[in-house]
Structure 1
Amino acid sequence: MKPYRVLLYYIYSPIENPEQYREEHHLLCLELNLLGRVIVAPEGLNGTVSGLAADCDAYMDTLRNDPRFAGIEFKIDESDEHTFQKLHVRVKKEIVHSDLPVDPLRQTGIHLEPDDFKRLKNDPNVVLVDMRSNYEHSVGKFKGAITFDMENLRELPEHIHEIEHLKGSDKKIITYCTGGIKCEKASAYLIAQGFDNVYQLHGGIIKYGMEAGGEDFDGECYVFDNRVTVPVNHVNPSVISTCHRCGTPTSRMVNCASPACNNHFTLCEACGLDHQGTCSDACKEDPELRPYDGTGYYGKETLSYSPLQGFKSRQGQPLTVEIK
């Protein structure tokens, strides 16, 4: 068993004073030596963090013991080390930025557990719809799924016409995403737009891989940490993406070593070395080119970073918060 854990979670549950809770939550992460990204919003909590197993257990226990988050679910993976370089706990308007006029606490698609999804996914009366960004589904998606060429969930309304033919049909629409959070709003939006028989994969691709083996998920799943992509399918794995440079099959996704570009793209190991981790010859000539270390993951400049950063009151004094 590996020493570190990676936790992926979200919960829609009203938080009355997000700014105050952000400070409490930031301190909790500091106390437990966790790194990662956490979003606090009036509508709830969304995060991905990494830390030692015991620290992650204490973190989960603390959240579950808070009445607001009693129903929270964690997707738990193992790692040899931290999968993040920093800790950021931020207040935002939404826990997943969508600008969709829906409330997941009022209505969403019917939640399907992984085993139920596995049973239904190949039914000819079922249509799978990927709610992730284009660079995510380019490296991995379910067989036969409909995908949209969108950069983020805010663009979903611009692509509804692509599945308009499903309105009024007897087809079951099953939406899916990485961890389930986007589908809470995406499925609600489809219902609001007049679609019937709308379902969503509860816990997303990650939970499906962990609990049901990941069958028929082609390629790998894009994740928002140092790993970039992770394998999901332990039954019939395949590779669907090709190297941007040479065209050989690869699921290896990187960020371009040119900071001016920083695009996500697939790159085989050989081309990574030959082209210094860049997506084009023009990027290779960038005078600010970052050294390519073989991973293709570049954290932002950390020279002045401290995990205590931002943990100050409006008067600039350290805050003391009791964590129970």
Structure 2
Amino acid sequence: MQLYNNLSAEERAKLIEQAGKERLTISFYTYAKIGNPEIFRNHLFVAWNELDVLGRIYVAHEGINAQLSVPADHFQKFKDHLDSISFLEDVRLNIAIEQDNFSFLKLKVKVRDKILADGLNDDTFDVTNKGVHVDAERFNTLIEDPNTVLVDMRNHYESEIGHFKNAVTPDVDTFRDSLSIIEEDLKTHKEDKNLVMYCTGGIRCEKASAYYKHKGFKNVFQLEGGIINYVRQVEEKNLENKFIGKNFVFDQRRAERISEDVIAHCHQCGKPCDTHVNCANEACHLLFIQCPECAEKLSGCCSEKCAEIAALPYEEQKALRRGQTKSNMIFKKGRSEVLKFK
């Protein structure tokens, strides 16, 4: 029984192109008690591999977090399979605003300690005791209330290219960093302010809202379905869009444009730009913002040194990487010292 990928990303991309079928990029999550995540993981892989589902899925004792791509003509079969699983029946599916047939090129279903790393070790913390879910219309009303504090629960490189107007955007690298920082900043307003949170698809707010209720915050709200669902509701109900810029996403697209505002800058020259790229030097792979002019000048790299390495024959690049382990520094998402306008 096949429980792993047998095609490379390049091979899969060619098959998708040859098939000529439209695919849907979808995300969903749910917190649920899963007794044996390994068995559940294998079940999902077998079922979804048959449907040509691709994506990145995390399974843990606390639930599932999925970002995936499914052929449009297999969507109903995929939905039927979800509905056959008790805790996934009628789960909300966030369908991407901008579709890309190549958003995912492999099916990766991984067992993790948690579906969302939070750094918390608190047995009294109940993730199901969450805040109030609000739709786009009520969210718009809440964030206009002077008694509301609106907090972006995403990381700095996400909010840098797009966020809601007047939102607090913590300068953090990870979700676990934001929890304690926000609690400390708002500790004097646990009872007299509305704490309203948002993130990409809702999973971070789901855990954060329960955490802040656990810490004594009285009026905790979260944007149901996150930015993705908000934009869809704004379009369907003809509401005012209060999000400016792009919504960062964790697949090959890297972002969906929500408004025409460009609020970020090229990390190399400072020109208005909100296009994330990964450094073309595979040994670096740094995520940063780069304008077309700088991309041409530095061959898609973050520095002249990386451009020199990327220009070498592939075998020479492999030889340079041999025996070296990737440092966490390469994943600092735009904080490298080589970037003048980070």
Q: Which band: TM-score by shorter chain?
A: 0.7 to 0.9
Deviations 1:213-270 (A, max 9, x none): 471212101111000011124xxx4111011122121221111222333222111122
Distance in 2 separating the partners of 1:104 and 1:254 = 34
Q: TM-score, normalization: structure 1?
A: 0.82
Over 3 Å counting, the alpha-carbon distance change for 1:269 and 1:56 in structure 2 is: farther
Over 3 Å counting, the alpha-carbon distance change for 1:289 and 1:141 in structure 2 is: farther
Contact 2:127 2:211 in 1 (8 A): no
What is the correspondence of 1:1-324 to structure 2 with a 5 Å cutoff? 3-77=22-96, 79-100=99-120, 101=122, 102-105=125-128, 107-159=129-181, 160-168=183-191, 170-213=192-235, 215-233=241-259, 237-286=260-309
Considering fraction of residues, name the structure with more helix.
2
Size of the aligned set, in residue pairs, is 285
Shift of 1:210: 1.2
Deviation larger for 27-36 or 274-283? 274-283
Deviations 1:30-83 (A, max 9, x none): 101111011111111110111210223311221022212114110113624131
Deviation larger for 46-55 or 64-73? 64-73
Over 3 Å counting, the alpha-carbon distance change for 1:119 and 1:90 in structure 2 is: same
**SS of equivalent residue, structure 1 residue 220:** strand
Q: TM-score, normalization: structure 2?
A: 0.78
Gaps of 5+ in 2: 1-20, 315-342
Distance in 1 separating the partners of 2:153 and 2:311 = 34
Distance in 1 separating the partners of 2:261 and 2:310 = 37
**SS of equivalent residue, structure 2 residue 93:** strand
Distance in 1 separating the partners of 2:310 and 2:266 = 24
Shift of 1:288: 7.7
Deviation larger for 200-209 or 63-72? 63-72
**SS of equivalent residue, structure 1 residue 39:** strand
Contact 1:210 1:232 in 2 (8 A): no
- Residue in 2 aligned with 1:299? none
Q: Runs (4+) of structure 1 moved beyond 4 Å?
A: 287-291
**SS of equivalent residue, structure 2 residue 33:** coil
Distance in 1 separating the partners of 2:276 and 2:202 = 22
Over 3 Å counting, the alpha-carbon distance change for 1:189 and 1:89 in structure 2 is: same
Over 3 Å counting, the alpha-carbon distance change for 1:290 and 1:137 in structure 2 is: farther
Shift of 1:287: 5.2
Distance in 2 separating the partners of 1:61 and 1:149 = 41
Shift of 1:273: 1.6
Over 3 Å counting, the alpha-carbon distance change for 1:289 and 1:94 in structure 2 is: farther
Contact 1:258 1:289 in 2 (8 A): no
Contact 2:198 2:222 in 1 (8 A): yes
Distance in 1 separating the partners of 2:270 and 2:40 = 48
Contact 2:100 2:253 in 1 (8 A): no
**SS of equivalent residue, structure 1 residue 79:** coil
Deviation larger for 269-278 or 202-211? 269-278
Over 3 Å counting, the alpha-carbon distance change for 1:243 and 1:287 in structure 2 is: closer
Percent identical across equivalent pairs? 39
Distance in 2 separating the partners of 1:130 and 1:290 = 43
- Residue in 2 aligned with 1:318? none
Distance in 2 separating the partners of 1:114 and 1:185 = 20
Distance in 1 separating the partners of 2:285 and 2:302 = 9
Shift of 1:150: 1.5
Distance in 2 separating the partners of 1:10 and 1:290 = 42
Contact 1:11 1:72 in 2 (8 A): yes
Distance in 2 separating the partners of 1:276 and 1:174 = 42
